[in-house]
Amino acid sequence: MNKILTISIITPSFNHSDFIEDTITSVINQDYEYIEHIVVDGGSTDSTIEILKKYDELKWISEKDNGQASAINKGFRMATGEIVSWLNSDDYLAPNSITKVAKVFAEKPEIDFVYGDIIYVNKGKSTIEEIIGEKINYDKLLRNPDIVRQPSTFWRKSVLDKIGYIDENLELVMDYDFFLKLFKNFSFEYIPVTLSYYREYSDTKTSKQNRKQVMEILKVISGHTFFFSPKLLWKLIKRYWQ
Protein backbone atom coordinates (compact mmCIF):
# COMPACT_ATOMS: atom_id res chain seq x y z
CA MET A 1 0.00 0.00 0.00
CA ASN A 2 1.36 3.43 -0.95
CA LYS A 3 2.13 5.84 1.85
CA ILE A 4 -0.40 8.62 2.36
CA LEU A 5 1.38 11.93 1.93
CA THR A 6 0.38 15.29 3.35
CA ILE A 7 0.76 18.17 0.90
CA SER A 8 1.42 21.64 2.31
CA ILE A 9 0.42 24.58 0.12
CA ILE A 10 1.82 27.99 1.04
CA THR A 11 -0.05 31.14 0.01
CA PRO A 12 1.73 34.49 0.50
CA SER A 13 -0.85 37.25 0.71
CA PHE A 14 -1.13 41.01 0.85
CA ASN A 15 -4.27 43.01 0.02
CA HIS A 16 -5.68 40.50 -2.45
CA SER A 17 -9.20 40.29 -1.07
CA ASP A 18 -10.60 40.38 -4.62
CA PHE A 19 -8.97 37.06 -5.42
CA ILE A 20 -7.88 35.13 -2.34
CA GLU A 21 -11.22 33.43 -1.77
CA ASP A 22 -10.85 31.74 -5.18
CA THR A 23 -7.43 30.55 -4.08
CA ILE A 24 -8.74 29.18 -0.78
CA THR A 25 -11.79 27.42 -2.20
CA SER A 26 -9.72 25.85 -4.99
CA VAL A 27 -7.72 24.09 -2.26
CA ILE A 28 -10.68 23.24 -0.02
CA ASN A 29 -12.61 21.72 -2.93
CA GLN A 30 -9.87 19.28 -3.88
CA ASP A 31 -10.82 15.61 -3.62
CA TYR A 32 -7.60 14.83 -1.71
CA GLU A 33 -8.02 14.81 2.06
CA TYR A 34 -4.48 15.31 3.30
CA ILE A 35 -3.82 18.96 2.46
CA GLU A 36 -2.40 21.62 4.76
CA HIS A 37 -3.09 25.12 3.44
CA ILE A 38 -1.05 27.87 5.10
CA VAL A 39 -1.72 31.54 4.31
CA VAL A 40 1.06 33.93 5.29
CA ASP A 41 -0.40 37.42 5.13
CA GLY A 42 1.77 40.52 5.28
CA GLY A 43 -0.65 42.60 7.33
CA SER A 44 -3.38 43.28 4.77
CA THR A 45 -5.48 46.41 5.23
CA ASP A 46 -8.35 45.35 2.96
CA SER A 47 -10.91 42.64 3.80
CA THR A 48 -8.44 39.74 3.47
CA ILE A 49 -8.44 38.95 7.20
CA GLU A 50 -12.23 38.74 7.31
CA ILE A 51 -12.08 36.23 4.48
CA LEU A 52 -9.39 34.15 6.21
CA LYS A 53 -11.47 33.98 9.38
CA LYS A 54 -14.30 32.31 7.47
CA TYR A 55 -12.33 29.12 6.84
CA ASP A 56 -11.55 26.81 9.75
CA GLU A 57 -9.59 24.59 7.37
CA LEU A 58 -6.87 27.22 7.04
CA LYS A 59 -3.73 27.82 9.01
CA TRP A 60 -2.86 31.48 8.75
CA ILE A 61 -0.93 34.34 10.24
CA SER A 62 -1.00 38.06 9.48
CA GLU A 63 1.96 40.24 10.33
CA LYS A 64 4.34 42.61 8.61
CA ASP A 65 7.06 40.84 6.65
CA ASN A 66 9.91 41.61 4.30
CA GLY A 67 8.06 40.81 1.10
CA GLN A 68 6.75 37.84 -0.85
CA ALA A 69 9.87 35.68 -0.68
CA SER A 70 10.08 36.18 3.08
CA ALA A 71 6.43 35.18 3.45
CA ILE A 72 6.91 32.05 1.34
CA ASN A 73 9.91 30.97 3.39
CA LYS A 74 7.98 31.59 6.59
CA GLY A 75 5.28 29.28 5.27
CA PHE A 76 7.79 26.61 4.31
CA ARG A 77 9.12 26.60 7.87
CA MET A 78 5.58 26.23 9.22
CA ALA A 79 4.74 23.38 6.85
CA THR A 80 4.39 19.85 8.23
CA GLY A 81 3.69 18.05 4.94
CA GLU A 82 6.11 15.80 3.09
CA ILE A 83 5.27 17.60 -0.17
CA VAL A 84 5.17 21.39 -0.52
CA SER A 85 4.21 24.03 -3.07
CA TRP A 86 3.22 27.66 -3.14
CA LEU A 87 0.12 29.15 -4.62
CA ASN A 88 -0.10 32.92 -4.85
CA SER A 89 -3.21 34.65 -3.57
CA ASP A 90 -4.48 35.53 -7.05
CA ASP A 91 -3.96 32.06 -8.58
CA TYR A 92 -5.95 28.89 -8.03
CA LEU A 93 -5.74 25.12 -8.43
CA ALA A 94 -7.49 23.06 -11.08
CA PRO A 95 -10.16 20.70 -9.68
CA ASN A 96 -8.81 17.45 -8.26
CA SER A 97 -5.24 18.22 -9.28
CA ILE A 98 -3.70 17.34 -5.92
CA THR A 99 -4.77 13.69 -6.18
CA LYS A 100 -2.80 13.37 -9.42
CA VAL A 101 0.27 14.93 -7.84
CA ALA A 102 0.10 12.81 -4.69
CA LYS A 103 -0.22 9.63 -6.75
CA VAL A 104 3.10 10.24 -8.51
CA PHE A 105 4.96 10.97 -5.28
CA ALA A 106 3.46 7.95 -3.53
CA GLU A 107 4.20 5.52 -6.35
CA LYS A 108 7.64 6.88 -7.28
CA PRO A 109 9.77 7.64 -4.21
CA GLU A 110 12.72 8.37 -6.50
CA ILE A 111 10.97 11.47 -7.90
CA ASP A 112 11.85 14.72 -6.15
CA PHE A 113 9.38 17.08 -7.81
CA VAL A 114 6.39 17.01 -10.10
CA TYR A 115 5.07 19.65 -12.48
CA GLY A 116 2.14 19.89 -14.88
CA ASP A 117 0.41 22.20 -17.29
CA ILE A 118 -0.98 25.64 -16.55
CA ILE A 119 -3.62 27.98 -17.95
CA TYR A 120 -3.19 31.78 -17.91
CA VAL A 121 -6.42 33.63 -17.18
CA ASN A 122 -7.48 37.25 -16.74
CA LYS A 123 -9.10 38.80 -13.69
CA GLY A 124 -12.45 37.33 -14.63
CA LYS A 125 -11.00 33.82 -15.17
CA SER A 126 -11.31 33.92 -18.96
CA THR A 127 -8.54 31.97 -20.67
CA ILE A 128 -5.65 33.98 -22.12
CA GLU A 129 -3.31 31.11 -22.98
CA GLU A 130 -3.06 27.38 -22.31
CA ILE A 131 0.44 26.03 -21.69
CA ILE A 132 -0.20 22.37 -22.40
CA GLY A 133 1.96 19.45 -23.44
CA GLU A 134 5.35 21.16 -23.41
CA LYS A 135 7.94 19.52 -21.19
CA ILE A 136 10.56 21.59 -19.35
CA ASN A 137 14.14 20.82 -18.44
CA TYR A 138 17.06 22.81 -17.05
CA ASP A 139 18.43 23.91 -20.42
CA LYS A 140 15.03 25.03 -21.71
CA LEU A 141 14.37 26.99 -18.54
CA LEU A 142 17.78 28.66 -18.74
CA ARG A 143 16.93 29.87 -22.26
CA ASN A 144 13.37 30.96 -21.46
CA PRO A 145 12.41 32.22 -17.97
CA ASP A 146 8.78 32.63 -19.05
CA ILE A 147 8.10 28.87 -19.04
CA VAL A 148 8.22 28.67 -15.23
CA ARG A 149 5.00 27.02 -14.02
CA GLN A 150 5.24 27.96 -10.38
CA PRO A 151 1.71 27.12 -9.13
CA SER A 152 1.80 23.83 -11.08
CA THR A 153 4.96 22.55 -9.39
CA PHE A 154 5.23 20.44 -6.22
CA TRP A 155 8.33 19.04 -4.51
CA ARG A 156 9.42 17.01 -1.52
CA LYS A 157 10.11 19.22 1.45
CA SER A 158 13.44 17.43 1.90
CA VAL A 159 14.85 19.21 -1.16
CA LEU A 160 14.79 22.48 0.77
CA ASP A 161 17.45 21.03 3.07
CA LYS A 162 19.69 20.55 0.03
CA ILE A 163 19.22 23.73 -2.02
CA GLY A 164 17.91 26.13 0.61
CA TYR A 165 14.81 28.27 0.61
CA ILE A 166 13.66 31.08 -1.67
CA ASP A 167 16.25 33.82 -2.22
CA GLU A 168 14.84 36.80 -0.32
CA ASN A 169 17.13 39.18 -2.20
CA LEU A 170 14.98 38.62 -5.29
CA GLU A 171 11.66 40.40 -5.49
CA LEU A 172 10.29 39.42 -8.90
CA VAL A 173 11.97 36.23 -10.17
CA MET A 174 12.57 34.19 -7.02
CA ASP A 175 10.47 31.42 -8.57
CA TYR A 176 12.74 31.33 -11.64
CA ASP A 177 15.86 31.08 -9.50
CA PHE A 178 14.33 28.37 -7.32
CA PHE A 179 13.11 26.22 -10.22
CA LEU A 180 16.43 26.41 -12.03
CA LYS A 181 17.95 24.85 -8.91
CA LEU A 182 15.23 22.19 -8.85
CA PHE A 183 15.65 21.18 -12.49
CA LYS A 184 19.44 21.20 -12.24
CA ASN A 185 19.77 19.09 -9.10
CA PHE A 186 16.77 16.76 -8.76
CA SER A 187 14.73 14.13 -10.55
CA PHE A 188 11.35 15.21 -11.83
CA GLU A 189 8.22 13.99 -13.56
CA TYR A 190 5.84 15.80 -15.87
CA ILE A 191 2.08 15.22 -15.55
CA PRO A 192 0.29 16.07 -18.84
CA VAL A 193 -2.73 17.67 -17.17
CA THR A 194 -3.60 21.22 -16.11
CA LEU A 195 -2.80 21.63 -12.40
CA SER A 196 -3.38 25.34 -11.88
CA TYR A 197 -4.58 28.68 -13.21
CA TYR A 198 -2.35 31.76 -13.19
CA ARG A 199 -3.95 35.20 -13.25
CA GLU A 200 -2.23 37.64 -15.57
CA TYR A 201 -3.30 41.29 -15.52
CA SER A 202 -1.80 44.77 -15.64
CA ASP A 203 -1.74 45.31 -11.87
CA THR A 204 0.49 42.35 -11.03
CA LYS A 205 3.83 43.10 -9.47
CA THR A 206 5.85 41.79 -12.42
CA SER A 207 3.73 43.63 -14.99
CA LYS A 208 4.48 46.96 -13.34
CA GLN A 209 8.25 46.46 -12.92
CA ASN A 210 9.57 45.25 -16.27
CA ARG A 211 13.02 46.78 -15.93
CA LYS A 212 13.65 45.42 -12.46
CA GLN A 213 12.46 42.00 -13.58
CA VAL A 214 14.90 42.01 -16.51
CA MET A 215 17.83 42.89 -14.25
CA GLU A 216 16.90 40.14 -11.80
CA ILE A 217 16.65 37.59 -14.62
CA LEU A 218 20.12 38.54 -15.85
CA LYS A 219 21.46 38.21 -12.32
CA VAL A 220 19.95 34.75 -11.88
CA ILE A 221 21.14 33.43 -15.24
CA SER A 222 24.67 34.74 -14.70
CA GLY A 223 24.77 32.64 -11.54
CA HIS A 224 24.31 29.52 -13.68
CA THR A 225 26.11 30.19 -16.97
CA PHE A 226 28.33 32.62 -18.87
CA PHE A 227 26.35 32.06 -22.07
CA PHE A 228 23.25 34.10 -22.83
CA SER A 229 21.04 32.98 -25.70
CA PRO A 230 20.86 35.77 -28.32
CA LYS A 231 17.11 35.14 -28.62
CA LEU A 232 16.68 35.56 -24.87
CA LEU A 233 18.83 38.69 -24.77
CA TRP A 234 16.75 40.29 -27.50
CA LYS A 235 13.54 39.37 -25.66
CA LEU A 236 14.86 40.91 -22.44
CA ILE A 237 15.99 44.09 -24.21
CA LYS A 238 12.50 44.55 -25.66
CA ARG A 239 10.92 43.89 -22.28
CA TYR A 240 13.24 46.36 -20.59
CA TRP A 241 12.13 49.14 -22.96
CA GLN A 242 8.41 48.33 -22.95
Domains recognised in the chain with CATH numbers: 7-240 (3.90.550.10)
Residue 208: the pLDDT is: 66
Task: Enter the pTM of the model.
Answer: 0.91
Q: Is the pLDDT of residue 137 over 60?
A: yes
Percentage with pLDDT > 70 across the chain? 97
In this prediction, residues 157-169 reach a mean pLDDT of 94
Most confident of 26-30, 130-134, 142-146: 26-30
pLDDT average, residue stretch 105-134 = 95
Task: Report the chain's C-alpha Rg in angstroms.
Answer: 17
The pLDDT value given to residue 207: 55
